[in-house]
């Protein structure tokens, strides 16, 4: 019997890489269900090739448009609420969550509660709802396999190793397109420059997050939730070549490192075939061609989003959700040309100072903090825009 997959976010950058992996893995894996936000054309292409039995379109208008074009035999549901229903579908064995942003939290919880394996590329569920995700894992008996490259690396390095042997986890960051620039030099950078990532090809939200190092901030929180290590035992190092994805420092001072070509297909495929491995064509690393690998500290003055994430993570409760939501708003406002690059962390800081963190007892606490943080960040963005215009 084949493994039946639901791919949430099939038209994005990670979704495309997941489809490439499924194409290669062949009939042993069946794409049972897919979702997209509003990209009808991308979804139709995917449906023509993979013939999924269930389709979810989050945007209702796009769902109407899709309904006019689709062929027979696939069930269509509209609206974000249907994502959780697809994620918990009894016919699905494995969920690939390739969504972007907060929208991925509820379907992740639904899948874990239903005891499914979740290949998680979407950072925000772990960041916003860490305690809820852990609870859902315990209750439902599901499994979480990280797809974010750094966490996939750590997951592989930690496999079968007693936690007492581990002293520290290190995640690497490419440093993004603005590595080496001072805060003053960053004042005028444009969204187009921020989107040109040197080593990874990614969607627009995460490309800007990489440029601000908010992405690495989210990843520190993500690692804390996934591997249950204190923040003091988590560090970030800038590694511009993006070949070493993660390192584990052991009790005796030994370091284990995970190396791989920077392509999302590697962690995605491993999450699908875990604990087995399959070949990935063109992914071999040529050490002689690489020549040298370099490491340097992160500049937390020029890129304050990283330290803010640590602060939010250490505060715990709903503070990571506030960080994540405020970052989503500020990231988009920058891409829309409403605020400058350096104002992204300023907006996040404003939200963290305005929205008081609370304990996370249930989903409502996270959603309330998310809404308040969005409002606070939006208010800050509007203030900054007005100040510029006057």
Which residues make up the interface to Mg ion (CB under 5 A)? 148-150
Rank residues 150 and 328 by Cβ distance to Mg ion and give the closer one: 150
d(CA 316, CA 333): 26
78 bridge partner residues: 57
Q: How far is the CB of 3 from Mg ion (least distance, A)?
A: 25
What's the gap between Cα 179 and its chain centre? 21
Rank residues 52 and 177 by Cβ distance to Mg ion and give the closer one: 177
What's the gap between Cα 162 and its chain centre? 27
Rank residues 46 and 121 by Cβ distance to Mg ion and give the closer one: 121
Q: How far is the CB of 163 from Mg ion (least distance, A)?
A: 23
CB 218 within 8 A of CB 123: yes
Q: How far is the CB of 373 from Mg ion (least distance, A)?
A: 22
Count other C-beta atoms under 10 Å from residue 111's C-beta. 30
d(CA 246, CA 214): 18
Rank residues 30 and 148 by Cβ distance to Mg ion and give the closer one: 148
Rank residues 33 and 146 by Cβ distance to Mg ion and give the closer one: 146
Rank residues 113 and 150 by Cβ distance to Mg ion and give the closer one: 150
Q: Name the nearest CA neighbour of 119 among 9, 12, 244.
A: 9
Rank residues 105 and 264 by Cβ distance to Mg ion and give the closer one: 264
Residue 150 three-state SS: helix
d(CA 162, CA 185): 45
Q: How far is the CB of 165 from Mg ion (least distance, A)?
A: 25
Burial level of 62, CB count in 10 A (0-12/13-18/19+)? Answer: middle
Rank residues 129 and 146 by Cβ distance to Mg ion and give the closer one: 146
d(CA 176, CA 186): 12
Rank residues 202 and 366 by Cβ distance to Mg ion and give the closer one: 202
Q: How far is the CB of 328 from Mg ion (least distance, A)?
A: 17
d(CA 176, CA 113): 36
Q: How far is the CB of 121 from Mg ion (least distance, A)?
A: 9
HSE-CB for 1 with a 13 A CA cutoff: 6
d(CA 196, CA 177): 7
Phi-psi region of 176 (alpha: psi -120 to 50; beta: other; left: phi over 0): left
Residue 141 three-state SS: coil
DSSP letter at 246 equals E
Residue nearest Mg ion, CB atom distance: 148
d(CA 372, CA 361): 17
């Amino acid at each position: 019997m084949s493994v039946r997959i639901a791919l949430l976010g099939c038209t994005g950058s990670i979704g495309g890489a997941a489809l490439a992996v499924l194409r290669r893995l062949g009939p042993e894996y069946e794409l049972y269900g897919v979702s997209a936000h509003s990209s009808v054309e991308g979804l139709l292409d995917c449906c023509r090739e993979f013939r999924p039995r269930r389709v979810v379109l989050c945007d209702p208008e796009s769902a109407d448009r899709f309904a006019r074009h689709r062929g027979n035999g696939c069930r269509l549901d509209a609206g974000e609420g249907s994502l959780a229903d697809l994620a918990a579908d009894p016919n699905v064995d494995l969920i690939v969550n390739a969504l972007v942003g907060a929208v991925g939290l509820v379907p992740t919880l639904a899948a874990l509660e239903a005891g499914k394996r979740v290949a998680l590329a979407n950072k925000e569920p772990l960041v916003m709802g860490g305690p809820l995700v852990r609870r859902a894992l315990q209750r439902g008996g599901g499994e979480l396999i990280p797809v974010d490259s750094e966490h996939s690396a750590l997951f592989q390095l930690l496999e079968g190793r007693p936690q007492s042997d581990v002293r520290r986890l290190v995640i690497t960051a490419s440093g993004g397109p603005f590595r080496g620039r001072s805060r003053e030099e960053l004042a005028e950078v444009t969204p187009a420059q921020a989107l040109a990532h040197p080593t990874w090809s990614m969607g627009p939200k995460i490309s800007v997050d990489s440029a601000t190092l908010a992405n690495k901030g989210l990843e520190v929180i993500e690692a804390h939730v996934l591997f249950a290590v204190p923040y003091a035992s988590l560090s970030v190092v800038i590694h511009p070549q993006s070949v070493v994805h993660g390192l584990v420092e052991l009790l005796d001072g030994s370091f284990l490192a995970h190396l791989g070509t920077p392509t999302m297909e590697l962690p995605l495929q491993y999450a699908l075939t875990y604990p087995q491995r399959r070949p990935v064509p063109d992914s071999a690393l040529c050490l002689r061609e690489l020549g040298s690998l370099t490491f340097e500290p992160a500049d937390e003055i020029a890129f304050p989003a990283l330290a803010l994430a640590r602060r939010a993570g250490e505060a715990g409760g709903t503070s990571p959700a506030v960080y994540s939501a405020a970052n989503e708003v500020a990231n988009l406002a920058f891409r829309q040309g409403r605020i400058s690059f350096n104002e992204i962390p300023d907006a996040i800081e404003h939200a963290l100072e305005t929205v008081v963190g609370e304990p996370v007892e249930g989903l409502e606490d996270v959603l309330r903090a998310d809404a308040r943080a969005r409002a606070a960040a939006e208010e800050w963005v509007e203030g900054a825009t007005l100040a510029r215009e006057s």
